[in-house]
Amino acid sequence: MSPEIETIETLLVDLPTIRPHKLSMTTMACQTLVIVRMRHSDGIEGLGEATTIGGLSYGPESPEGIKLTIDRYLAPLLIGQPSSNLNALRARMDRHVRGNSFAKSGLETALLDAQGKRLGLSVAELLGGARHDHLPVLWTLASGDTQKDIDEAFQRLNDRRHCDFKLKIGANAVDDDVRHVSAIKRALGDRASVRVDVNQAWDEATAARGIAALESAGIELIEQPIPAREYAGLTRLAERFIVPMLADEAVHDATDGFTLAAAGFSDAFALKIAKAGGPLGVLELASVAKAAGIGLYGGTMLEGTLGTAAALHAWATLPEMAWGTEMFGPLLLKDDIVAEPLHFHDFGVDLPQGPGLGVTLDEDKLAHYSRQD
């Protein structure tokens, strides 16, 4: 008989960043994690994380809203239910609660962690098995200062920590952003690839002008240059330029992926477990992309170690990530709440070993950084 879910606890955890992280829609000096602790009748505890960027700057779910959604609406649907039938539990949540994929992702992760611990299997093994035990990881240069970004990039290269870099742009005038990015690419030369993330800041006409200049400067990938719902515009930009477009905010789940592919978009998708409702949902999107010949990129919501580990277990099962991953979230934080950090080296990160996520909490740090109000 399957053990039942007994209690679900959520905690808001505020962790400072190592430097201000500047995006087109906000500047972050702190990241708030929503930590899920799911306890089962057999004594197993499953851990999960639901994290977004900049409160409500990125999307419609805030950390406080995620916690409320789980506590008031989703947890009552799961408590008392058999914990091992993940498909039935996903369907139950979707039947009674629309959207709220970030909250659902935290719960799905906790269910997978618990089942893995119960069976002595990693989450990657539960998802079919890992094809990779070390995944490439890029670094985002987001200080906003050109020379600081150049110095930071060379330091990461010299440390053999990252050899691909992404620049957050869109908050400044297009010409200023192009000068900033071009200077960094010139400084790095062939030692590293450089991509940009516009975070929906441009309209299509502005994007056409900016992308032409960025393509000439040798930039290798343009992430979400225009608003998320402008599918036709994104497809037109992808067809117009040689440099590929990366759909991020435009593609959350398999349905979005199919819509974009059917519209003729064929460049690249940014996978994020939070957008897709969890590891299972994101692998459904990856299957759509594979069928349509669309490249994959392992995206982050700047999660801490728990959320990053959950994503890594999903990415490890995929045959290829054409554009690598950006699972650097823990490195952006001054501290974390786990007993053992992830191992970043040789321009990537190791897949955590052990049952479930392969991650354990540091209870003292969790208590220290948890919000009390």
SS3 state of residue 233: helix
pLDDT tier for residue 156 given thresholds of 50, 70 and 90: very high
Angle between helix axes 204-216 and 174-188 (nearest 10 degrees) is: 20
**188, pLDDT greater than 80:** yes
Domain shared by 160 and 299, yes or no: yes
pTM given for the model? 0.95
How far is residue 344's CA from residue 331's CA, in Å, rounded to a whole number?
Answer: 9
Are 101 and 135 within one domain?
no
Question: Would you call 326 a catalytic residue per the annotation?
Answer: yes
Indicate if 81 and 136 belong to the same structural domain.
no
Which one from 67, 166, 168, 185 is the annotated catalytic residue?
Answer: 168
Range of the domain at 74: 5-125+362-369
CA proximity to 296, closest of 167, 183, 158, 132: 132
Query: What is the four-CA torsion angle of 82, 280, 328, 223, rounded to 10 degrees?
Result: -150
Model pLDDT, residue 19: 80
pLDDT greater than 90 at residue 55:
no
Cβ-contact 187, 226 below 8 angstroms: no
Interval 274-297: pLDDT, tens = 999 999 999 999 999 999 999 999
Number of domains composing the chain: 2
Tell which wins on pLDDT, 22 or 157.
157
Would the pLDDT of 27 be above 80?
no
Banded model confidence at residue 57, pLDDT cuts 50, 70, 90: confident
- Are residues 100 and 16 located together in one domain of the fold? yes
Assigned domain for 83 exists: yes
The CATH number of the domain holding residue 49 is: 3.30.390.10
The set of residues, in sequence order, having a beta carbon less than 8 Å from that of 28 and lying 6+ positions away, is 17, 20, 21, 53, 54, 302
Arithmetic mean of pLDDT over the chain: 95
Average pLDDT over residues 213-239: 97
Residue 181 domain flag: yes
Task: Write down the catalytic residue from 49, 61, 152, 326.
Answer: 326
Q: Is residue 153 located within the same domain as residue 235?
A: yes
Q: Say if residue 10 is in the same domain as residue 47.
A: yes
| 179 and 267 part of one domain | yes
Confidence band of 331 (pLDDT split at 50, 70, 90): very high
pLDDT score, position 23:
67
Question: 59 and 43 in one domain?
Answer: yes
| Average pLDDT of the residues in 61-87 | 97
Neighbours of 203 (CB within 10 A): 13
Q: Which alpha helices (DSSP H) does the chain contain, by range?
A: 63-68, 75-78, 86-96, 101-119, 123-126, 146-158, 174-188, 204-216, 231-240, 254-262, 273-276, 279-292, 305-315, 329-332, 363-369
The Cα 331–Cα 324 span in angstroms is 17
Q: What angle do CA 328, 348, 321 make, to 5 degrees?
A: 90
- CATH number for the domain spanning 142: value is 3.20.20.120
**Count of Cβ atoms closer than 10 Å to residue 98 Cβ:** 6
Question: Residue 110: what pLDDT?
Answer: 98
Which tens digits make up the pLDDT trace of 109-144? 999 999 999 999 999 999 999 999 999 999 999 888
Same domain (yes/no): 60, 134 = no
Is 357 among the domain residues? no
Judge whether 303 counts as a catalytic residue: no
Residues 237 and 201 in one domain: yes
Q: Does 329 lie in the same domain as 198?
A: yes
Question: Predicted confidence band at 1 (pLDDT cuts at 50, 70, 90)?
Answer: confident
Q: What are phi and psi of 157, to 5 degrees?
A: -65, -45
